[in-house]
Amino acid sequence: MSRSFLLRNPSVLIFLAALAIFTLSVTLLSEAFGSDVISTSFVKTLGKTLCLCLVALAMDLVWGYCGILSLGHFAFFGLGGYMIGMWLMYARTELIVADSLANAAIPPTDQEVVDAIGTQIFGVVGSSDFPPIWAFAHSLPLQLLMVLLVPGLLALVFGWLAFRSRVTGVYLSILTQAMTLALSLYLFQNESGLRGNNGLSGLQNLPGVTASQAVVSIWFLWASAFALGVGYVVSAWVVSGKFGSVIRGIRDDEARVRFLGYSVEGYKLFIFTFTAIIAAIAGALYYPQAGIINPGEVAPIASIYLAVWVAIGGRGRLYGAVIGAAFVSLVSTWFTGGQVPSVPLGFYTIDWVDWWLVLLGLSFVLVTLLAPKGIGGLFDLISGRLAPNRHGADYGPDKGSLQEEEGRG
Amino acid sequence: MSNLLEVSGVSVTFDGYRAIRNLSFQIGSAELRAIIGPNGAGKTTFMDIVTGKTRPDEGRVTWGERSINLLKMNEARIAQEGIGRKFQRPTVFEDQTVFANLLMAVRNPRGSFACLFYRPTAKDRTRVEELASEIGLSDALSRKSGELSHGQKQWLEIGMLLAQEPRLLLVDEPAAGMTLAEREHTTDLLKEAAKTRAVVVVEHDMEFVRRLDCKVTVLHEGSVLAEGSLDHVTANPQVIEVYLGR
């Protein structure tokens, strides 16, 4: 992280400054600091939004920069959430069990404690034994490691199989959809060992923490902001050098990169796994704020939303992805929360809770057709970023390559 | 002189159509060679085989002093071995600057981790500047390569090839769409390159081939019809019939 890196990428400094100002002002206006301007639940919404920005950043790296339209990155996001959720549930239940057994005449053995925890957690799916996948749930460091390892390994294996066979374009997108669907269906089963469709709940209560939710929400806001900041700097660093050149080359013309001697499959696998890990970290910070995770979270539609955010924000630029995710998910919260007044048309009343998806879909189509650079493209009006004139042709023969409208300033 | 590349008895069939039939071809380590032939003669398929894009049904392709089997390698490995390829239409990375394009091609470790932690050294910068002046793009280093003219893109691509420091250059119709002055410049670049490495040029344009002044291989229906100097092959009655006569 040399000085010249920041000088060459002034948008990184601007972004970090904006993020810091945002986090500070939300903190000062929150209930935790005695002000009532921003409610605790809205602080949580903002904290969750920061996590969504982070996963959008990952999506932009893999799609906007490398041209791989992955429609499965929410699987990694969800897995990250599940991994941290396992520890949160175990540790909190352990405290409750220890409390209730403390008054027993005979002190409980370790095995009795573990059995009691198992009954508490898995009673809902009619079981009381810990499945093998919970082997590390008692330890925070080990389970944090799982946050990185499980999604990382899944991405590594999936990516290796897919890229090695040179699956590209829409086929790869379908394959990633199938992956996230399969994961979701698997988790829905009670036998999966992750409480089936009940999912993991009560994640907002940190074990051993007595601070109020108002304070905890601020902790998570800061943690999310920190992760987003670090993620942004690392992503900017990754795409700034020759590595960035190569992956953008892969996006625009994969065959040419191959004939330069770069192993395209290796690079794709690297970026796919790397972004899966970023997504997992985002998920691990998101679900303790959401409080609950269930298999519905990794349904195929979630990953498609992710692509929509990045497309609306402007793919191929990091701040575009962040802006897109923040803007669309906040507006979505607003619309689906029933806070937008309905529009009476006399014969029909447009209720935005129902019509929001139509509006989102419509704006996605309009952005793709009329302003392919998305919201991020507005910044070009200021900076006057110039792009080559291709007279209507796209930048490369590959399916993920930039269209001319996306490149033009 | 031992051969750098040796292709022997290679055949390829696409959906029953035999694009290459029992083709054999050799080139030395510092030689300029032109390949001519009518459309569908298998010129591009030949390049695809050598660069690993297409796997032949039978035959052998061996490379270098140790006679490595190229058929076992993928495109990236073959490129790392020292075979560079220039496509028919200029393919440069249009969204990126001329400098970035050249830097990507400069010979350096190609692995993803090596690349991630790579920062251009003074030596690499000098190399890029040398190449840029060689291909006449010194003033355009910071421009996006998509803004360049067609001829300039062709040169940039040749420059990227030279930056790879390949031992064999495969060039597909380098003069297409170039002005007369640009053609002369291209001929000089190729002749210069052929002093230290093998260069194979696929070309339609007879004038351009004549200017290259080198051994010519005529392909027809997937195999070699004639080989020799341009005057020699153009005097061959079979060649006149299938190619020049049209």
Is A408 at the interface with chain B, CB within 8 A?
Answer: no
pTM for the model: 0.90
pLDDT at A250: 94
The reported pLDDT for the residue numbered A377 is: 83
B110–A contact, CB cutoff 8 A:
yes
A62 pLDDT higher than 90 = yes
Distance, in Å, from the CA atom of A114 to the CA atom of A128, rounded to the nearest integer, reads 10
Partner-chain contact A245 B53, CB within 8 Å: no
Report residue A391's pLDDT band, with 50, 70 and 90 as the boundaries: low
Give me B1's structure tokens.
Answer: 């002189």
As a whole number, the mean pLDDT across chain A is: 89
Is residue A402 less than 8 Å (CB to CB) from chain B?
Answer: yes
Q: Measured between CB atoms, does B91 come within 8 Å of chain A? A: yes
Flag if A259 and B75 touch (Cβ within 8 Å).
yes
pLDDT band per the 50, 70, 90 thresholds, residue A8: confident
Chain A neighbors of B93, CB-CB under 8 A = 245, 248-249, 252-253, 256, 395-396
Which chain B residue's Cα is nearest to A408? B95
Three-state secondary structure call for residue A372: coil
CATH code that applies to domain B3-244: 3.40.50.300
Q: Which residues of A touch B103 (CB under 8 A)?
A: 242, 245
**CB distance from B238 to chain A under 8 Å?**
no
Mean pLDDT across B33-59: 88
Q: Check pLDDT > 70 for residue B244.
A: no
**Residue A371 corresponds to which tokens in the numbers above?**
């302003």
SS3 state of residue A290 = helix
Q: Pick the residue of B48, B74, B85, B93 with the most A CBs within 10 A to test the interface with A by mutation.
A: B93
Alpha-carbon distance A241 to nearest alpha carbon in chain B (angstroms): 7
B63, burial (CB in 10 Å: exposed 0-12, middle 13-18, buried 19+): buried
pLDDT band at A129 (very low <50, low <70, confident <90, very high): confident
| Rounded Cα–Cα distance for residues A95 and A84 (Å) | 17
Give whichever of A12-16, A224-228, B184-188 has the largest mean pLDDT: A224-228
Q: Please tell me the predicted confidence (pLDDT) of residue A408.
A: 55
Question: Which band of pLDDT confidence, cut at 50, 70 and 90, is reported for residue B38?
Answer: confident
Q: What is the share, in percent, of chain A residues with pLDDT greater than 70?
A: 94
Nearest residue, CB atoms, B116 vs list A238, A264, A402: A238
Measured between CA atoms, the residue of chain A closest to residue B166 is: A260
A358 Cβ partners below 8 Å, 6+ apart? none
Q: Confidence class of residue B216 from pLDDT cuts 50, 70 and 90?
A: very high
> What residues in A contact B120, CB-CB < 8 Å?
242
- Residue B33 has what pLDDT? 93
Mutation pick from A164, A260, A385 vs chain B, by most beta carbons of B within 10 Å, is A260
What is this model's ipTM?
A: 0.87
Which range of A137-146, A370-379, B172-181 scores highest in mean pLDDT? It is A137-146
Q: Do B104 and A256 lie within an 8 Å CB cutoff?
A: no
- pLDDT surpasses 50 at A1: no
Q: With contacts defined as CB-CB under 8 Å, which chain A residues touch B87? A: 256
Chain B residues touching A395 at Cβ < 8 A: 93-95, 146
| Partners of B216 in the β-ladder | B34, B228
* pLDDT at residue B224 greater than cutoff 60: yes
pLDDT (tens digit per residue) in A293-329: 999 999 999 999 999 999 999 988 999 999 999 999 9
pLDDT at A237: 93
Chain A nearest-CA residue for B148:
A388
For chain A, say whether B56 makes contact (Cβ under 8 Å).
no
Q: How far apart are the first and last CA of chain B?
A: 37
Distance CA B49, CA A383 (A): 46
Residues near A225 by Cβ (< 8 Å), separated by ≥ 6? A19, A20, A22, A23, A50
The 10s digit of each residue's pLDDT in A246-266 is 999 999 999 899 999 999 999
Q: Does pLDDT of A275 surpass 90?
A: yes
Nearest by CB to A243, from B51, B96, B116: name it.
Answer: B116
* Mean pLDDT within A198-227: 92
